Structure 1
Amino acid sequence: MDDRGSAGGSFVAVRRIAQGLDRSNTCQASSAEVAAGSAAWLGRGLSCVCAHGKEEDARLSFDLTPAQEDCLQKLQNRLDIAYDSSVPEHQEALRALWKAAFPEEELHGLISEQWKEMGWQGKDPSTDFRGGGFISLENLLYFARNFPKSFQDLLRKQEGDRSMWEYPFAVAGVNITFMLIQMLDLEAVKPRNLVGATFLKFLSDNELAFDLLYCIAFKLMDHQWLAMRASYMDFNAVMKSTRHQLETELLEKYITRLEELPSYMLLTR
């Protein structure tokens, strides 16, 4: 892998203020996030897009079927799990991610300078998972296992005419998880926007719909990055464009499955 993913300093990742999701009051704003880390890479920081929904969306209320309520609760339970480096399951998932990313390179430890090759801030990825919890690791692992060609293309920046300074793969992945959580209003007891309500229809048909949408979003983000001829200071603009495109596609009336989204066609296995 080339050295375009770093600039002599640590990467910058999203940080959640609170690990858990507060659903006690659906009228409260979603959890805030801040950009943290070294300014040596992105200056003002690589942060997720937290665009506010339309005012009319904020007043909407959607009734869920029992099946949708059950699927939403299961997904929210996943969102509540923080990455814990002392949990064997979490350790194994992290090792599995490394093996999927670099099958020919032996990992020397869960804390190693090698992790920077994947685009983490430093030698301990667990510090970055605080931004998205364990589900952000699950998302990356699902991507690697189900769309290995696209995963490797993005990891190694193999497609397109790229800028000298590129986004760090792993940190961008955590940002995408966080962006989707906000876009779909998954921190609320039930969705307060049309996009979130629409997504639950897909979730009730496929319990891994969030993971699949993550793969679509990651590939779409990279596609937008190339189309916009973006460099590191353009990351937030690319994320806004990605979110807008996803929302538009999800609300198309003819879409009945995530596999029918136009951006799904960008993925290769």
Structure 2
Amino acid sequence: MDDRGSGGGSFVAVRRISQGLDRSNTFQTSSAEVAAGSAAWLGRGLSCVCAQRREDDSRQSFDLTPAQEDCLMRLQNRLDIAYDSSIPEHQEALRALWEAAFPEEELHGLISEQWKEMGWQGKDPSTDFRGGGFISLENLLYFARSFPKSFQDLLRKQEGDRSMWEYPFAVAGVNITFMLIQMLDLEAVKPRTLVGATFLKFLSDNELAFDLLYCIAFKLMDHQWLAMRASYMDFNAVMKSTRHQLETELLEKYITRLEELPSYMLLTR
């Protein structure tokens, strides 16, 4: 599998002026801000969040049923697929994401300044997929199609008292994919954490469990962002809080389906 340890790259701060999507205020930070670390903190900081493990995790191993092994293999096959802008299926998925995000606005090309409106770092979103691969695009598209109201609320920052400096939606989404891959230990032959082993039980019942958990995680992250009154320099702390909450909920004994997670309710309210 590809090395996602350096995934995420740099991160574009988004200045928020008013409610709704203010497309004129998405921009890359100045050279002085880059020198101070404000434009590149996400890629570096999130790697630390995602890689954290308890000391005894490396000594654990959980046996899988044949069905769980099969489901894990299929999911790992998805993780192995890098985004390739020359593949028609990948091109169509990217166009579909735009149509789901901005149905009222025609896309002028797969390389276009318009993509910054969604929170990509530049005019070519393919450069931001290196940390999450094609599955990160599939996750965003699943979110847009399955929970369109929540997707639009997060895209347009329509809920809560927002920060002056907001996280860019699309790049944050790629990093959430990366965080979940690490949290669930999905690149291991067998899960080495109880959270990873527990997730495979959900995956064997629902092959789209990873995509659903992604939606829950994204909505939970934004909920934590608002609760913590966070700004872009706080994103690492928000991700730590989001991961901790997800792990806690997944390990609750009464949870038998992802739809029973308390954070799932954030998607449907």
Cα distance between partner residues in 1 of 2:244 and 2:125: 29
Map 1:176-255; keep pairs closer than 5 Å: 176-255=176-255
Cα distance between partner residues in 2 of 1:174 and 1:185: 17
* Cα RMSD (Å): 11.0
Native 8 Å contact 2:7 2:130 kept in 1? no
Native 8 Å contact 2:26 2:116 kept in 1? no
Residue 224 and residue 18 in structure 1: after superposition, are their counterparts in 2 closer, same or farther (change >3 A)? closer
Cα distance between partner residues in 2 of 1:236 and 1:44: 9
1:40 matched to which residue of 2? 40
Q: CA deviation at 1:11?
A: 3.7
1:59 matched to which residue of 2? 59
Residue 118 and residue 234 in structure 1: after superposition, are their counterparts in 2 closer, same or farther (change >3 A)? same
Greater displacement, 114-123 / 18-27: 18-27
Identity %: 94
Q: Deviations over 1:8-29 (max 9, x none)?
A: 9984599999999999999999
Residue 18 and residue 169 in structure 1: after superposition, are their counterparts in 2 closer, same or farther (change >3 A)? closer
Q: Deviations over 1:101-132 (max 9, x none)?
A: 00000000000000000000100000001110
Residue 7 and residue 19 in structure 1: after superposition, are their counterparts in 2 closer, same or farther (change >3 A)? same
Native 8 Å contact 1:16 1:131 kept in 2? no
Q: Deviations over 1:126-165 (max 9, x none)?
A: 0001110000000000000000000000000000001100
Residue 9 and residue 188 in structure 1: after superposition, are their counterparts in 2 closer, same or farther (change >3 A)? closer
Cα distance between partner residues in 1 of 2:29 and 2:71: 23
Q: CA deviation at 1:39?
A: 3.1
Residue 34 and residue 197 in structure 1: after superposition, are their counterparts in 2 closer, same or farther (change >3 A)? farther
Cα distance between partner residues in 2 of 1:28 and 1:91: 25
Q: Deviations over 1:36-90 (max 9, x none)?
A: 9983897977767224221222211111000000000000000000000000000
Native 8 Å contact 2:115 2:125 kept in 1? yes
Cα distance between partner residues in 2 of 1:173 and 1:87: 22
User: TM-score if structure 2 supplies the norm length?
Assistant: 0.84
Native 8 Å contact 1:4 1:165 kept in 2? no
Cα distance between partner residues in 1 of 2:23 and 2:105: 43
Native 8 Å contact 1:20 1:80 kept in 2? no
Cα distance between partner residues in 2 of 1:148 and 1:102: 11
Instruction: Specify every segment of 5 or more residues in structure 1 that has no aligned partner in the other structure, as ranges.
Output: none
Greater displacement, 45-54 / 106-115: 45-54
Cα distance between partner residues in 2 of 1:32 and 1:4: 28
Q: Deviations over 1:186-215 (max 9, x none)?
A: 010110000000000000000000000000
User: TM-score if structure 1 supplies the norm length?
Assistant: 0.84
Partner SS state of residue 128, structure 1: helix
Native 8 Å contact 2:9 2:131 kept in 1? no
Residue 207 and residue 28 in structure 1: after superposition, are their counterparts in 2 closer, same or farther (change >3 A)? farther
1:149 matched to which residue of 2? 149
Native 8 Å contact 2:95 2:110 kept in 1? yes
Cα distance between partner residues in 1 of 2:134 and 2:211: 12
Residue 36 and residue 99 in structure 1: after superposition, are their counterparts in 2 closer, same or farther (change >3 A)? farther
Q: CA deviation at 1:7?
A: 22
Residue 197 and residue 81 in structure 1: after superposition, are their counterparts in 2 closer, same or farther (change >3 A)? same
Partner SS state of residue 191, structure 1: coil
